Amino acid sequence: MIRVGIVGATGYGGRELLRLFGGHPEAKVVAVSSTTAAGKRLQDELPGFGKLLDLTFETFDANGLAEECDVVFLGVPGTESMGPGAELRKAGAKVIDMGPDFRLRDAGTFKTYYKKDHAHVDLLGESVYGLVPWNREALKGADLVAVPGCYPIGALLPLKPLLATAKPSVPVVIDAISGISGAGRSLNQGFHFPEMNENVWAYKLGVHQHTPEIEQELGGGVQVQFSPHVGPYTRGILSTITLRPSEAVDVAACYACYDDEPFVRVLGEGDLPQLAAVRATNFCDIGWVMDERTGNLLVVSALDNLMGGTAGMAIQCMNLMFGVDERAGLQTGGMTV
Amino acid sequence: MIRVGIVGATGYGGRELLRLFGGHPEAKVVAVSSTTAAGKRLQDELPGFGKLLDLTFETFDANGLAEECDVVFLGVPGTESMGPGAELRKAGAKVIDMGPDFRLRDAGTFKTYYKKDHAHVDLLGESVYGLVPWNREALKGADLVAVPGCYPIGALLPLKPLLATAKPSVPVVIDAISGISGAGRSLNQGFHFPEMNENVWAYKLGVHQHTPEIEQELGGGVQVQFSPHVGPYTRGILSTITLRPSEAVDVAACYACYDDEPFVRVLGEGDLPQLAAVRATNFCDIGWVMDERTGNLLVVSALDNLMGGTAGMAIQCMNLMFGVDERAGLQTGGMTV
Amino acid sequence: MIRVGIVGATGYGGRELLRLFGGHPEAKVVAVSSTTAAGKRLQDELPGFGKLLDLTFETFDANGLAEECDVVFLGVPGTESMGPGAELRKAGAKVIDMGPDFRLRDAGTFKTYYKKDHAHVDLLGESVYGLVPWNREALKGADLVAVPGCYPIGALLPLKPLLATAKPSVPVVIDAISGISGAGRSLNQGFHFPEMNENVWAYKLGVHQHTPEIEQELGGGVQVQFSPHVGPYTRGILSTITLRPSEAVDVAACYACYDDEPFVRVLGEGDLPQLAAVRATNFCDIGWVMDERTGNLLVVSALDNLMGGTAGMAIQCMNLMFGVDERAGLQTGGMTV
Amino acid sequence: MIRVGIVGATGYGGRELLRLFGGHPEAKVVAVSSTTAAGKRLQDELPGFGKLLDLTFETFDANGLAEECDVVFLGVPGTESMGPGAELRKAGAKVIDMGPDFRLRDAGTFKTYYKKDHAHVDLLGESVYGLVPWNREALKGADLVAVPGCYPIGALLPLKPLLATAKPSVPVVIDAISGISGAGRSLNQGFHFPEMNENVWAYKLGVHQHTPEIEQELGGGVQVQFSPHVGPYTRGILSTITLRPSEAVDVAACYACYDDEPFVRVLGEGDLPQLAAVRATNFCDIGWVMDERTGNLLVVSALDNLMGGTAGMAIQCMNLMFGVDERAGLQTGGMTV
């Protein structure tokens, strides 16, 4: 049994880990820490886990966690995982960070988008970007994993196979819409139920912090025009990508690279994905349409931001790190209703 | 009092007319027809109108309607209004069609996108495209009005002022998301509550029938890449438009043309609209961001597809046709919750 | 024109007044006050009212309001309207309070349920309980109106006609479910969109503050077992009432008293109401089933908590106070979608 | 490995089985049949199961299923499982029916409530009512299980421990609200997204077919007044029960019987359950309030109608029948968001 610790276990990413580890045959959560809930029993804070997990939230203690756990997941807000991450690495723990702190290679870009100096620049080289289908081998030996952002997963999985053969002639337009769980637990007037219900809006156009992450991982100087939105639902990101290829591209051939990927499903031309098929799964579904009239390629991806976009991808990384079947604990079908 | 008839009054567009005319000081619904509900009392079919409207659904009868009514609104499915519309015109009635049949100038394009020959091509020249801010004068003398499609309103109002000074160098990308009321009353597995709830999808990418309507009204050979989506809510369209101007454009100056428009609100740079502010109103709200990094201009518009996108715009057209204050019956604030 | 002032105009009840007065032919909002938004333009705080209402929020000033306005509506939180209400009365203004402060006749009961001493016990005798169908004559001469609570309206309208002829043998069970707007604007983890979506719960069983209000207005020593719930939607209260009559009751005959009520619709035996038919209306719809097997009478009522349950009822009171058609501004049909 | 067959696998109950068996360590779905999808690959009909289950829907064949499978689950509409159930039993298969056909002991009552003669009355004696906490021993040796209805589970689990010591003096009032998945896949105007969204209604008051099932399993001549509702969400039943005990009852002591139940959680007095804590779990959560003022006991239960209320309870039955840990495959925490 892999002994798992979770830091920030009351957040939505942390809760999703707790949920998923309940069905994992080779791992077990043995420690949970939380700044807001330290000292409380897990089931008192999260009644959905009563009679399932008998744990008490602890204050964060790197050495203690390194001793009790084989791996520690970080589910804390952006810019708050670099400290605990560094401490845990120093104490010898393997670390899987679901936040943004170890994703960007360039500390200057980090500062521009996260408005904070990076306190552990040395670790930026050590961390492995946990986009499993593209970094599988590196993840097997990783000690520090940066789980990709939810939007970047929905953009990178469909885009990376295409860019190898077709360079876009103008910035790639990525219009994505996320459920509100992506914004986390923090209260906000805009996410108060009566104000978010029946509401949709766009935000951070051109300046969202996932923009440099997507561009870094696409490489080759490709620019993206990333326009995130939120809509009145809890889970899921649908990304609609408009790419203007500079030359003809055989999309089906490009996507053949995913034939054996356990959690990427290519639906084919004209068969567009929807959130219902990926809810509560680790899958990213991809479909496309080539519009010959305009010369644009439209690609659509769907994933569950909390599972395939965060906690599920994180567990898949863990499975690779510990040499167990990478699908372990992740093979349930979706809650189609 | 303007005497109003509504054909197809049980559909969602028709119901919205019924709702709005309840508060109109100078018009009154005097006749309703419906193929499915003929012979029934309105309040038995639509209990929300009990004690408000004492009417009985009739079978469609052009001459009878022309006699009883000063104006007849058509709220029937696409391709089914050209027949009744032509009959009503022949009988001497003024007609406001909320469907697509009289919007496109070119019968060949109509056939390509609606899969049906147009039976009354002669009327395509007579009809006035009811986009009030751009056709106000023509509407004052109109006898046949084609109310624009809901998506086109959300695209044309933000785009038309810009294209006068800045031509896009590549097709304009319009990613729009609509509530499910836009798909009408017809049952469909995809819109069954448990399957649509928490779901989002894209559809008809590159082939949606509103594409040629938008391009016709933009003119100047501008191409649009129109990508419609549906999301888990009832009302509202948010359109996110990515335009690559071939030269610098003074967006605020372009939008000054709307300063005195009663139902277009320009929010300004960086102030993005949301559906909550336009729900149950006749407004189209517009905001924008210029992304200097990529060279793209992002414009976002929000409207209520049933009111500002259909029935409200239709009533505004009627007000102009009959010389009453164009705002009559349309000045309620939004249901912000 | 009746000149209207609104204190607490940024709250959900206040916003609903702003929305409805946009369509009122004989009244006009001339002053708005707010503690949180004083000094701001209304449209900056509530962008849904841009181009509709050109007002600036003021700090509360009883004398100023009394001078500028013919009537002042109070839309502030419970226990916070007694002070402003008393000041406004002293300054000579007519006052319509949408909160609970002037509803209960007994100051001791007020303290028990609202945990605060009543500071203006003298006004409890002056205030008229604004349940229009039952207090129409008194309202015509009222200077201080206590608009009933939203749950009490949904309970009293169906129950009052029945109790005249049939006394229940055990406490009447009222199970009601409300949309989240009923809880107001205040942020709360339970109403954060991802936690309220797909969620339902019961609260304050047996101790909800609307219990004594319902019992006071029913009179005759009738006890109610009031069990409120919230569900994942914005507007509307559905109340399911289980009454055990001590003798046979002719329900239809009892409800004949509502035949000419403009905003109460009795649907009849076996025809149960739903929220869709009353959304954005001033109606309370009522239906019932007599279960001969168990001896219980089941009555169901539906209303829109913000309109028929608060702001619409308040405006109906105002119309009566000022001698205008009591239906003015309230005759729009529902947003059935 | 227990070899599982599912008849009616495209319905919502069937899909939930498919989802849950993905995480079951000791069972595997080997055959699926469907009248509407026979001949199609499962992943083409239910894209959420692509890359998870490589199965093809077959036409129903009792002998084939009996050979291929150790147990067959029936997920077909009410009154349509008695035929296949009887055939499967005759062919020697163990059968777990998620429909109502084998729940009622009395064929006359069945006919009254389901409007159909029961074709296999002989099996009514053989079938075991699958309410695990109350029939655990009988289930271990069962060949035919009738999984309880979703509403009955939410009523019986809280009520059965109480009735042993306190007889209600009047019929027990059970007001329950269900998500729309409880109504299944069949299209219906009332469940069309724009008409169900923001809507709540009561239905079948006093005549719902789960009434006799609840009374049968409570026994002792206890009558229930069962009032079901639907609300605008997908999953979950919240039941609010008003019971008038004829003598004092020690509620906590009554519920001690559930201390070791793996999937019943008693929250305690004043701690009321909510759907969020049981979504996507097999739990039934129970809380209560004794209202000394009225003499009524209020008990509230929450469960996920598709999992704890149907498919999860069915799998728990199967685990008992095959002697594996009854919690197998069911221990994931809830999707609290």
> D193 and D76, same structural domain?
no
Per the structure, the count of domains in chain D is 2
Does B166 have pLDDT greater than 90? Answer: no
Rounded to whole angstroms, the Cα distance separating C322 from D5 reads: 72
Confidence of residue B332 (pLDDT cuts 50, 70, 90): confident
Side chain identity at residue C31, one-letter code: A
pLDDT for C195: 97
Q: Which residues of A3-40 are buried (b: 16+ CB within 10 A; e: fewer)?
A: bbbbbbbbbbbbbbbbbbbbbbeebebbbbbbeebeee
Rounded mean pLDDT of chain B?
A: 97
Q: What is the pairing mode between strands B57-58 and A296-303?
A: unpaired
- Is there a domain that residue D19 lies in? yes
Residue B145 pLDDT: 98
Cβ neighbours of B59 (radius 10 Å): 10
CATH number at residue D49: 3.40.50.720
Mean pLDDT of chain A: 97
Q: CB B198 to CB A235 under 8 A?
A: yes
Task: Answer yes or no: is pLDDT of B177 > 90.
Answer: yes
User: Which of B87-96, C200-209, D50-59, D327-336 is least confident?
Assistant: D327-336
Q: Residue A192 is nearest to which of C179, C185, C233, comparing CB atoms?
A: C185
Shared-domain flag, residues B95 and B184? no
Q: What range does the domain containing C287 cover?
A: 151-305
pLDDT-derived band at C165, boundaries 50, 70, 90:
confident
Average pLDDT over residues C197-218: 98
Residue of C nearest to D212 (CA): C293
- CATH number for the domain that contains residue D250: 3.30.360.10
**What percentage of chain D carries pLDDT values higher than 90?**
96
| ipTM of the prediction | 0.97
Same domain for C159 and C260?
yes
With CA atoms as reference, report the closest residue to C336 among D182, D176, B50, B315.
B50
Give domain status of residue A224, yes or no.
yes
Per-residue confidence (pLDDT) for residue A219, from 0 to 100? 96
Q: Are residues D261 and D200 in the same domain?
A: yes
Tell me the catalytic residues of B: 150
Closest-CA residue to B214 (of B159, B276, B147): B159
pLDDT of residue D206: 96
Q: Is the pLDDT of residue D55 over 90?
A: yes
Residue A334 binned pLDDT confidence (cut-offs 50, 70, 90): confident
Q: What is the pLDDT of residues A172-204, one digit of tens each?
A: 999 999 999 999 999 999 999 999 999 999 999
- Report the residue from B175, B234, B293 with minimal CB separation from A175: B175
Q: Pick from D232, D195, D187: which is nearest to B185 by CA?
A: D195
* d(C-alpha D52, C-alpha D70), whole Å: 21
Which pLDDT score, from 0 to 100, does residue A337 have?
86
Average pLDDT over all residues of chain C:
97
Active-site residue, from D69, D150, D254, D317: D150
Whether the pLDDT of residue C337 is over 90: the answer is: no
D161 shares its domain with D195: yes
pLDDT digits (tens, 9 = 90+) for B223-268: 999 999 999 999 999 999 999 999 999 999 999 999 999 999 999 8
Alpha carbons A261 and A131: distance in angstroms, whole number: 12
- Residue in chain B closest to D337 (alpha carbons) equals B198
Interacting residues of D109 by C-beta distance below 8 A, sequence separation 6+: D212, D216
B221 at interface of C, judged by CB pairs closer than 8 A: no
Rg for chain A (alpha carbons), in Å? 19
Q: Does residue C337 belong to any structural domain of this protein?
A: no
Rounded CA gap, B57 and D95, in Å?
52
Q: Do C289 and D206 touch (CB under 8 A)?
A: yes
pLDDT of residue D128: 98
pLDDT band at C166, cuts 50/70/90? confident
Residues A295 and A204 grouped into a single domain? yes
**pLDDT tens column, D192-249:** 999 999 999 999 999 999 999 999 999 999 999 999 999 999 999 999 999 999 999 9
Q: Are residues C122 and C60 in the same domain?
A: yes
* D332 pLDDT more than 90: no
Whether residue A161 is found in the same domain as residue A272: yes
Kindly report, residue by residue over A107-123, the tens digit of the pLDDT: 999 999 999 999 999 99
Give residue for tokens 């050109």: C54
C199: contact with A, CB 8 A cutoff: no
Please report how the helices C312-321 and C132-140 are oriented relative to each other, as an axis angle in degrees rounded to 10. Answer: 30
3-state secondary structure at position D140: helix
Residue contact D225–C242, C-beta within 8 A: yes
- Which residue in B179, B191, B233 is closest to D192 by CB distance? B191
Interface of A with B in 248-277 (CB under 8 A): 272-276
For residue B184, is it left (φ>0), alpha (ψ between -120 and 50) or beta? left
Q: Within a domain: residue A61? A: yes
Lowest-pLDDT choice from A121-130, C266-275, D160-169: D160-169
Q: Would you say residue C323 lies in a domain?
A: no
In a domain, residue A186? The reply is yes
| Residue C71: predicted pLDDT | 98
Q: How far is CA D19 from CA A310, A335, B138, B199, D10, in A?
A: 20, 7, 59, 18, 12
Going through A61-161 in order, the beta strands assigned E by DSSP cover 71-74, 94-97, 128-129, 144-146
B336 has pLDDT over 90: no
Q: Are residues A53 and A160 in the same domain?
A: no
Residues C289-323 as b/e (b if ≥16 CB within 10 A, e otherwise) read bbbeebebbbbbbbbbbbbbbbbbbbbbbbbbbbe
CB-based contact C187 A188, cutoff 8 Å? yes
CA of residue C143 relative to chain centroid, distance: 18
Q: Which residues of B touch A242 (CB under 8 A)?
A: 173, 175, 225, 227, 242
Separation CA C182–CA C171 (nearest Å): 25
Angle at the Cα of A35 (from A30 to A37), degrees rounded to 5?
70
Of residues B158, B206, B210, B223, the one with CA closest to residue B182: B210
**Residue at B322 is within a domain:** no
Same domain, B156 and B285: yes
pLDDT at A333 over 90: no
Can you say how many angstroms the Cα of residue A201 is from the centroid of all Cα atoms in its chain?
Answer: 22
D198: chain B residues, CB-CB within 8 Å: 234
For chain D, what is the mean pLDDT? Answer: 97
pLDDT tens per residue, range B108-130: 999 999 999 999 999 999 999 99
Q: Which of A102, A85, A121 is nearest to A8 (CA)?
A: A85
Nearest to A25 among D18, D19, D25 (CB): D25
Within this chain, do residues D244 and D284 fall inside the same structural domain, yes or no? yes
The reported pLDDT for the residue numbered C336 is 79
| Residue from C15, C275, C332 whose CB has the most chain B CBs within 10 Å, to mutate | C332
- At B257 the pLDDT is 97
Q: Which of C150, C254, C284, C317 is catalytic?
A: C150
**Sheet containing A128-129, strands listed edge to edge, beginning at the edge strand earlier in sequence:** A57-58, A27-33, A2-7, A71-74, A94-97, A144-146, A128-129
Q: Tell me the pLDDT tens digit for each residue of D3-17.
A: 999 999 999 999 999
Residue C334 pLDDT > 90: no
Pairs of residues, one from chain A and one from chain C, whose beta carbons lie less than 8 Å apart:
52
Q: Is residue A81 part of a domain?
A: yes
Q: For residue D47, is pLDDT > 90?
A: yes
Searching chain D, which residue's CA lies closest to the CA of residue B234?
Answer: D194
For residue D254, pLDDT beyond 90: yes
Gap from C198 CA to chain B (nearest CA, Å): 10
Do D250 and D160 fall within a single domain?
yes
Chain A residues within an 8 Å CB radius of D263:
51
Question: Per-residue pLDDT for A166 more than 90?
Answer: no
Give me the residues paired with residue B266 across strands. Answer: B286
Given an 8 Å threshold on Cβ–Cβ distance, is B189 in contact with D185? yes
Enter the pTM of the model: 0.98
Q: Which two tokens stand for residue B1?
A: 């009092």
Q: Is the pLDDT of residue B165 over 90?
A: no
CA distance A167 to A163: 6
Query: Could you tell me the pLDDT band of residue A3, with boundaries at 50, 70 and 90?
Result: very high
β-strand D71-74 against D94-97: which pairing, if any? Answer: parallel
pLDDT for D290 beyond 90: yes
Note the pLDDT of residue D336. Answer: 80
Kindly determine whether residue C332 and residue B20, on different chains, have CB atoms separated by under 8 Å.
Answer: yes
Q: What phi-psi label fits residue A183: left (phi over 0), alpha (psi between -120 and 50 degrees) or beta? A: alpha
pLDDT digits (tens, 9 = 90+) for C42-71: 999 999 999 999 999 999 999 999 999 999
How far apart (Å, rounded) are the C-alpha atoms in residues C88 and A57? 52
Whether residue D337 is predicted with pLDDT greater than 90 in this model: the reply is no
C337 touching A (Cβ < 8 Å): no
